[in-house]
């Protein structure tokens, strides 16, 4: 008689909690630094296989449970760092209140888990969406299960690969961030004079640069060629088209590079805001019909499950009546959260309802999009900025321009929605993995709750450490997405949002959408998702360049007919570089946080060439690992 393997075990819970906390911290740093986050399901699965092999009784479903909890933690980090730092940037908070961050993260994350329970059957079973990271994670878990205990974890070296690349990424971060041996980026600007008819002279600034970060190369490798190219195109729109035109028309003063940064920060980046809002609205419009169909399918499945209580174990979700009760209960802390800000009961009730509507819509959008393009390419920032803009305009209408609570309330709505949407997309990836492996859905949903709460308990602490050491919002840790949310909410209430630039961004977004529709019509494999370009417009050009390089390495990997083992090795190297650099960024900050001395680390200047050599070496290493077959 077949006995279903154990899934939720004590060792799996402990390992899931630890990985959730660690990967949440790492992804928080990456998002604050680069404005983008990546899925951690695959490295979590590999680490789980390596650790659980120590025990006599371990199985593939245990490893699946561990990666489910771990990836819930890293996805919650994205929802937190995209929004909550905006409250510090706008001066509402002087520092990150641990209790408040934990409360907001836990509320948003739990709502995200609950929203996605009825979507599992609709999107995974009925719609049968791809969920690329989910399929890849299942393949890696199967490969690990098929190996004997005397063999390596997998052909690419598994844990050893992650460990080596993690050490490389961590050492480079220690040398650059801690010791100051080289600067984090190479950048420069040139002024070009243009004369017309020998009389009218224009001066334009052209700026370019690259960050020397292995993590950004790795992000590019994971998101792939298309996204890497589009992010760079967005950067070129800002720095090679928009800034030169702006400076030619309005002129500039002082150092060209400083002038370019000032213009980009105060004007040009709002092109990205307009494009992101357009992308968020377009995502909702495009997915409205399949979303309605999916919800109907889910409701029909619930009716069938009531009629047939003897469902296979692989089809048993968390009971829908408990989901409804839990969501009803969650209305209370959400209401209290908003009442604490606005001190007005009817308005707090309205904001709670707005959040719940937007939370469900955008969690559904994120869940659907994760099935189409993957978690790493999910348009979380687009739907969040659309939410914050709508909430800001609604609150402006209700409270007026002089309100000092409107902008924080809008950010708080966006924070809950962003956490819910981030969790929603990632959770469906994990449930797809479980569906392939024959896991029990309700057990995975329980572990998603555990992973979410675990991450919520550490993110406030991580944010405080990073803020004391680096100052979130500074060039060292720019927090691009949170700065964007703050700029929009503040701009609406202070009436200083550069609407012309936002409008031009909307126009750019519409043009890009039309291009993408054309690409879809002709059946091209090079699609042009609007949010990838919008992120590129909004990010500093020095972040776009290494992401593009990583994307091209992924492209050359495909062109060279790399084996699945080589592609897996590249993914593990990239995951290790990201995790090592991010964790070292946090570790470097710890003694600064404890001592309150920003100069705690001894400085060893004058090794700029070593930084460039290290950066180029990492590029060559990753390229050779995924394009050149070993002699063995």
In sequence order, what DSSP letters do the residues of 377-404 get, joined into one string? G--HHHHHHHHHHHHHHHHHHHH-TT-S
Average pLDDT of span 52-75: 89
Q: What is the mean pLDDT of residues 387-393?
A: 88
- DSSP three-state, residue 274: helix
pLDDT at 315 over 80: no
Q: Which of 359, 356, 376 is nearest to 421 (CA)?
A: 359
The model's pLDDT over 181-202, given as tens digits with 9 standing for 90+, comes to 998 888 887 888 776 655 556 6
Q: What is the mean pLDDT of the chain?
A: 85
Whether the CB-CB separation of 557 and 305 falls below 8 Å is answered with no
Instruction: Tell me what the mean pLDDT of segment 557-569 comes to.
Output: 79
The per-residue pLDDT for 612 is: 94
Residue 194, H or E segment: strand 185-196
The predicted structure's pLDDT at residue 527: 85
* Residue 416 scores a pLDDT above 90: yes
Give me the pLDDT at residue 373, please: 59
Gyration radius of the chain's alpha carbons? 24
- How many CB atoms sit inside 10 A of residue 174's CB? 18
pLDDT in tens, 517-547: 999 899 888 888 887 888 888 878 888 899 9
Residue 519 vs residue 3, higher pLDDT = 519
* pTM for this predicted structure: 0.84
Q: What is the DSSP string of 493-526?
A: HHT---HHHHHHHHHHHHHHHHHHHHHHHTT-S-
**pLDDT value for 198:** 58
Is residue 553 scored above 90 in pLDDT? yes
Query: What percent of the chain shows pLDDT beyond 90?
Result: 36
For 419-442, write each residue's pLDDT tens digit.
Answer: 998 898 888 889 999 999 989 999
Q: What's the DSSP call for residue 95? A: S
Reported as type and span, the H/E element at residue 180 is none
Mean pLDDT (whole number) for 353-366: 84
Beta bridge mates, 196:
200
pLDDT at position 120, please?
Answer: 83
DSSP lists the bridge partners of residue 191 as 205
For residue 150, name the pLDDT band (cuts at 50, 70, 90).
very low
Q: How many helices (H) and strands (E) does the chain have?
A: 24, 2
- Residue 376 DSSP one-character state: G
The token duo for 225 is 């060629």
How sure is the predictor about 151, in pLDDT bands with cuts at 50, 70 and 90? very low
- Max mean pLDDT among 46-50, 221-225, 384-388, 456-460 falls in 456-460
* 595, pLDDT greater than 50: yes
In sequence order, what are the beta bridge partners of 210? 186
Identify whether the C-beta of residue 382 lies closer than 8 Å to the C-beta of residue 280: yes
Average pLDDT (267-273) is 87
More confident residue, 369 or 86: 86
Kindly tell me if the per-residue pLDDT of 374 is higher than 80. Answer: no
Model pLDDT, residue 153? 42
Does 377 have pLDDT greater than 50? yes
Phi and psi at 191, nearest 5°, equal: -100, 125
Mean pLDDT, to the nearest integer, of 263-268?
87
- pLDDT tens figures, 477-525: 889 889 988 988 998 888 888 889 999 999 999 999 999 999 989 988 8
Residues 6+ apart with CB under 8 A from 152: 158, 160
pLDDT digits over 12-24, tens only?
999 999 999 999 9
Q: pLDDT value at position 201?
A: 62
From 69, 76, 81, select the one nearest 36 (Cα to Cα).
81
Higher pLDDT, 89 or 117: 89
> Which tens digits make up the pLDDT trace of 92-124?
998 899 999 999 999 999 999 998 888 887 778
Q: Is the pLDDT of residue 60 over 60?
A: yes
pLDDT given for residue 111 in this prediction: 95
pLDDT given for residue 446 in this prediction: 93
Q: Which of 3-12, 89-98, 138-147 has the lowest mean pLDDT?
A: 138-147
In the structure encoding, which two tokens stand for residue 195, read together?
């004369």
What values do phi and psi take at 188, rounded to 5?
-165, 160
Task: Give percent of the chain above pLDDT 70.
Answer: 90
Better-predicted residue by pLDDT, 248 or 37: 248
Phi, psi of 411 (to 5 degrees): -65, -40
| pLDDT of res. 298 | 59
pLDDT over threshold 70, residue 310: no
Burial of 150 (0-12, 13-18, 19+ CB in 10 A): exposed
Supply the pLDDT for residue 147: 57
pLDDT at 152: 45
The Cα 42–Cα 44 span in angstroms is: 5
Q: In what helix (H) or strand (E) does residue 190 lie, and over which residues does it extend?
A: strand 185-196
Evaluate if residue 1 carries a pLDDT over 50.
no
Q: How many CA atoms lie within 13 A of 387 on its CB side?
A: 34
């Amino acid at each position: 008689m077949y006995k279903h393997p154990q899934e939720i075990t004590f060792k799996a819970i402990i390992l899931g909690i630890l990985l959730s906390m660690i990967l949440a911290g790492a992804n928080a740093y990456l998002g604050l630094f680069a404005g983008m986050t990546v899925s951690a399901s695959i490295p979590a699965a590999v680490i789980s296989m390596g650790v659980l092999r120590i025990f006599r009784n371990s199985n593939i479903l245990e490893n699946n449970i561990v990666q489910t909890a771990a990836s819930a933690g890293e996805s919650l980090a994205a929802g937190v760092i995209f929004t909550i730092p905006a409250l510090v940037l706008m001066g509402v908070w002087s520092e990150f209140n641990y209790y408040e961050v934990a409360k907001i993260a836990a509320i948003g994350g739990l709502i995200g888990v609950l929203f996605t329970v009825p979507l599992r059957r609709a999107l995974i079973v009925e719609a049968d969406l791809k969920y690329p990271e989910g399929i890849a994670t299942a393949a890696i878990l199967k490969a690990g299960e098929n190996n004997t205990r005397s063999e390596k974890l997998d052909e690419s070296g598994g844990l050893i690969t992650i460990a080596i690349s993690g050490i490389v990424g961590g050492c480079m971060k220690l040398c650059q961030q801690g010791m100051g041996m080289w600067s984090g980026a190479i950048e420069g600007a040139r002024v070009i004079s243009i004369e017309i008819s020998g009389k009218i002279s224009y001066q334009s600034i052209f700026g370019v640069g690259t960050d020397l970060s292995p993590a950004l190369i790795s992000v590019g490798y994971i998101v792939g060629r298309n996204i890497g190219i589009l992010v760079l195109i967005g950067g070129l729109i800002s720095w090679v088209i928009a800034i030169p035109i702006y400076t030619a028309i309005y002129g500039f003063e002082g150092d060209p590079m400083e002038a370019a940064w000032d213009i980009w920060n105060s004007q040009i980046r709002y092109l990205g805001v307009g494009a992101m809002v357009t992308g968020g609205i377009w995502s909702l419009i495009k997915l409205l019909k399949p979303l309605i169909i999916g919800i109907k399918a889910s409701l029909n499945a619930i009716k069938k499950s009531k009629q047939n209580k003897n469902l296979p174990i692989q089809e048993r979700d968390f009971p829908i009546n408990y989901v409804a009760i839990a969501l009803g209960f969650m209305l209370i802390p959400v209401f209290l959260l908003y009442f604490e800000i606005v001190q007005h009961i009817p308005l707090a009730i309205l904001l709670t309802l707005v959040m719940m509507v937007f939370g469900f819509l955008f969690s559904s959008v994120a869940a659907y999009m994760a099935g189409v393009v993957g978690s790493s390419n999910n348009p979380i920032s687009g739907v969040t900025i659309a939410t914050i803009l709508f909430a800001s305009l609604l609150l402006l209408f209700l409270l007026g321009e002089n309100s000092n609570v409107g902008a924080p309330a809008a950010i708080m709505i966006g924070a809950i929605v962003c956490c819910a949407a981030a969790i929603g997309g990632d959770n469906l990836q994990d449930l797809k993995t479980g569906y392939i492996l024959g896991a029990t859905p309700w057990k995975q949903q329980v572990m998603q709750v555990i992973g979410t709460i675990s991450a919520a308990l550490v993110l406030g602490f991580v944010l405080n450490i990073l803020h004391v050491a680096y100052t979130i919002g500074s060039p060292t840790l720019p927090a691009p997405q949170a700065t964007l949310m703050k700029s929009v909410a503040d701009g609406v209430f202070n009436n200083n949002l550069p609407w012309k630039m936002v409008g031009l961004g909307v126009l750019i977004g519409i043009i890009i959408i039309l291009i993408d529709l054309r690409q879809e019509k002709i059946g091209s494999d090079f699609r042009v998702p609007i949010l990838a370009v919008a992120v590129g417009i909004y990010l500093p050009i020095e972040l776009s360049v290494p992401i593009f390089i990583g994307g091209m390495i992924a492209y050359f990997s495909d062109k060279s007919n790399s084996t699945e083992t080589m592609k897996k090795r590249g993914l593990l190297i990239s995951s290790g570089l990201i995790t090592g650099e991010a964790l070292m960024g946090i570790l470097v900050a710890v003694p600064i946080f404890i001592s309150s001395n920003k100069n705690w680390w001894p400085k060893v200047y004058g090794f700029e060439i070593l930084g460039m050599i290290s950066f180029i070496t990492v590029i060559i290493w990753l390229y050779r690992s995924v394009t050149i077959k070993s002699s063995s």
